[in-house]
Structure 1
Amino acid sequence: MPVPRVDVARRRDLLAPGDNRRLSRNVRSGEWVRVAPGSYVVREAWAALTPIERHRLRVDEVVLRLQTPAVVSHLAAAALWDIDVLGPWPTAVDVTIGRTTGGRSGGALRRHALGLDGVERIPFGRHEVTSAAQTALDLARALPFVRAVTAVDQALWSQRRGGPLCTKDELLQALERGGPRRGDVRARRAIDAGEALAANVRETQVRVVAIGLGFGIPRLQERRVLRSGRLVFGDLYSPDHDHWVEIDGRGKYLSPQFGAGRAPADIVLDEKDRENEIRREVRGFSRLGATDADHPGRMYDILTGDGLPSTKPRPRTR
């Protein structure tokens, strides 16, 4: 993933007598954001970055200051490989160290004393970073199931520019390399659940939660040519019940890349026309908000209310 193009102010580079005082004043006022110890970015520039871009910038700034070579891993390596993961990004940078190396996490680093035997890594400046397959495997071992599958899906994503970062076979080979490790059972389950067609972490989350709620295994990126000749792709599709599922995020209506210069109202109207055409050609249609899968009971109600049957009862909610 390329380094975000953002001007970074570093204390060690400030030479003018008043620079340090000016920087401290800007940080206290909120005009500048602390990215890493001694590194700051204008708040507007920081806000314009995506969460994964922010973490990539943080990784670069922290690694730049390290005096001894390190192995960047886990979520820090994920940011470098552009492996998005559901949930918040940490404020510390992950590194993997030897089992007997010692040293505790703290400050800008989060150390994982897991050992480096069998850990696949490549050069990263004077440091190293775990390979894409190793990174996805490390996250699959460490994260809760749904978040783990999002990492696996992102590594396998077939529509990525330049192609997928790895294959499922490579993930399984990495799992066997170096002998048994804690989290192997969890990782194998996440790898088995991985799919190469999930375009983003919310699609992965909805798929995994839907399967857990008893809605069966859907097809991803269902391709249809409508009667009007329009080519459409569905996020999820249940072939057993001819049920089409769309996942709506705010980016669909606000993103410059998606909008291509169109007004949000025009995008909404076009999306409504598209939905009406699809509804005429399938038995059932559901539209989920980007965060509905955060609330399984709500998601269950939406899908069953739209006519998609489940083999399980509604989940209990607090």
Structure 2
Amino acid sequence: MAPEQHDTEIEIRRVRDQQYPPDYRKLRREIGAESIHRVGPGAYALTAAWRGLSSRERHRMRVVEATLRMRRPALVSHFAAASVHRIEILGRWPSRIDVRVDGGSGGRSSGLIRRHGIGVDADAEQWGVHRITTPAQTAIDIAAIADHTQAVVVLDQVLWARRPGGPLATIEELRMLAARRSSSRGRAKIRHALDEATALSDSVRESQSRVLLKRLGFPEPVLQREFTLLDGSTAQTDFYFPEYDHVGEFDGVGKYLDPALLRGRTPADALIEEKDRGDALARIVSRVSRWRTPHLRRPRELYDILVADGLPSRLPPPPRSLQLPR
């Protein structure tokens, strides 16, 4: 079950605010003692509160602080816009804040801001005194510059059917924006990613798994196939390969640690429940394979798990030395 989506709000102390007069000696002491964290120029948060944020929420806070300091209205875009729209990505968030600028300005970046000179004529909405690209435009912009896996992840996130509040865009909207894109840069990459995008991936790692399964030569799976178990309850699976009656499951640790996913259960309760679910599935299908994040970073291990469990690949195994960055 997907968690409820909301952003955690924390207090930001700003040097320029009258409520927080600048006592620079005290600031230096607090930073040295690691009791406060520098979010941006002149902006600080309690370290304990900062550590409680997800990586996306941290980037969003940096975006907020950076745009508060801008002297002119900007068009927030790419990964900065993704963090605001609650679009998760694969891997680390950028250290700089993305904005779209007029192509004639050169698109040069400096300091905290990364400028993309692809024009300001984009699908956007008002965001305070600034504008921000819509979720659909944001996904297309990222797909144009990211690697294929990241592009599919972001497009899946925007299309996600079970997102609390509903999908952020439709595949038709995305294809329309891709078709009318004025810049030729990244067009082929966008089309390729759109061809693989789906509304059925419930997490970033499911999207990553799907791309990697194809790359490793495994059959195309049915996504989110629901099974009726022997006790009459139902189980929805990440991947199902009908020709081989084989279920594949990405086993993320978040379901055992994230309070939003635990929903009042203890981690031990969640672990036992997941094991019982796996055992019940194994009684009605031929095979159940499970993998975790480390196996996505070391593709040979995922390949070996699935082949050992009886799922054939049309390709030879990748080298053991192959490691993916995230």
Deviates more, 1:250-259 or 1:37-46: 250-259
Give the secondary structure class of the aligned counterpart of 2:44: strand
Q: Structure 2 unaligned runs (5+)? A: 322-326
Determine if the alignment matches structure 1 residue 300 to structure 2 residue 303.
Answer: yes
Determine if the alignment matches structure 1 residue 235 to structure 2 residue 238.
Answer: yes
Q: For residues 18 and 127 of structure 1, do their structure 2 counterparts lie closer, same or farther at Cα, with a shift above 3 Å needed?
A: closer
CA distance in 2, matches of 1:113, 1:179: 12
Q: Would you say how many aligned residue pairs link Structure 1 and Structure 2?
A: 317
CA distance in 2, matches of 1:257, 1:92: 29
Counterpart residue number, 1:107: 111
Q: For residues 19 and 211 of structure 1, do their structure 2 counterparts lie closer, same or farther at Cα, with a shift above 3 Å needed?
A: same
Counterpart residue number, 1:248: 251
CA distance in 1, matches of 2:178, 2:149: 19
Determine if the alignment matches structure 1 residue 37 to structure 2 residue 41.
Answer: yes
Matched letter for residue 178 of structure 2? L
Report deviation, 1:15: 6.1
Counterpart residue number, 2:157: 154
CA distance in 2, matches of 1:15, 1:74: 33
Deviates more, 1:200-209 or 1:235-244: 235-244
Instruction: Provide the identity percentage.
Output: 42
CA distance in 2, matches of 1:251, 1:230: 23
Counterpart residue number, 2:13: 9
CA distance in 2, matches of 1:101, 1:4: 36
Counterpart residue number, 1:314: 317
Deviations 1:45-76 (A, max 9, x none): 11111111111111111111100111000000
Counterpart residue number, 1:76: 80
Counterpart residue number, 1:185: 188
Determine if the alignment matches structure 1 residue 138 to structure 2 residue 141.
Answer: yes
CA distance in 2, matches of 1:168, 1:238: 25
Matched letter for residue 4 of structure 1? T
Give the secondary structure class of the aligned counterpart of 1:291: helix
- Asked whether the 8 Å contact 1:11–1:20 carries over to 2, the reply is no
Q: For residues 2 and 260 of structure 1, do their structure 2 counterparts lie closer, same or farther at Cα, with a shift above 3 Å needed?
A: closer
From 202, 214, 217, the equivalent of 1:214 is 217
Deviates more, 1:9-18 or 1:20-29: 9-18
Give the secondary structure class of the aligned counterpart of 1:246: strand
Report deviation, 1:237: 1.1
Determine if the alignment matches structure 1 residue 262 to structure 2 residue 282.
Answer: no
CA distance in 2, matches of 1:140, 1:187: 5
CA distance in 1, matches of 2:217, 2:107: 45
CA distance in 1, matches of 2:128, 2:142: 23
CA distance in 1, matches of 2:304, 2:175: 36
TM-score (norm 2): 0.93
Give the secondary structure class of the aligned counterpart of 2:313: coil
Q: Structure 1 unaligned runs (5+)? A: none
Give the secondary structure class of the aligned counterpart of 1:217: coil
Give the secondary structure class of the aligned counterpart of 2:176: helix
| Structure 1 runs of 4+ with >4 Å offset | 14-18
- Asked whether the 8 Å contact 1:96–1:115 carries over to 2, the reply is yes
Q: For residues 213 and 18 of structure 1, do their structure 2 counterparts lie closer, same or farther at Cα, with a shift above 3 Å needed?
A: closer
Report deviation, 1:106: 2.0
Matched letter for residue 256 of structure 1? P
From 274, 283, 286, the equivalent of 1:271 is 274
Report deviation, 1:178: 4.0
- Asked whether the 8 Å contact 1:74–1:139 carries over to 2, the reply is yes
CA distance in 2, matches of 1:54, 1:114: 26
From 101, 125, 142, the equivalent of 1:97 is 101
Counterpart residue number, 1:168: 171
Report deviation, 1:317: 3.4
Give the secondary structure class of the aligned counterpart of 1:34: strand
Give the secondary structure class of the aligned counterpart of 2:104: coil
- Asked whether the 8 Å contact 1:14–1:20 carries over to 2, the reply is no
Matched letter for residue 25 of structure 2? R
- Asked whether the 8 Å contact 1:223–1:232 carries over to 2, the reply is yes
After superposition, residues 22-61 of structure 1 pair within 5 angstroms as: 22-61=26-65
Deviations 1:254-312 (A, max 9, x none): 12222232222222222211111100111111111133212111110111111111111
Please provide the CA RMSD for this pair: 1.6
Q: For residues 287 and 127 of structure 1, do their structure 2 counterparts lie closer, same or farther at Cα, with a shift above 3 Å needed?
A: same
Matched letter for residue 43 of structure 1? T
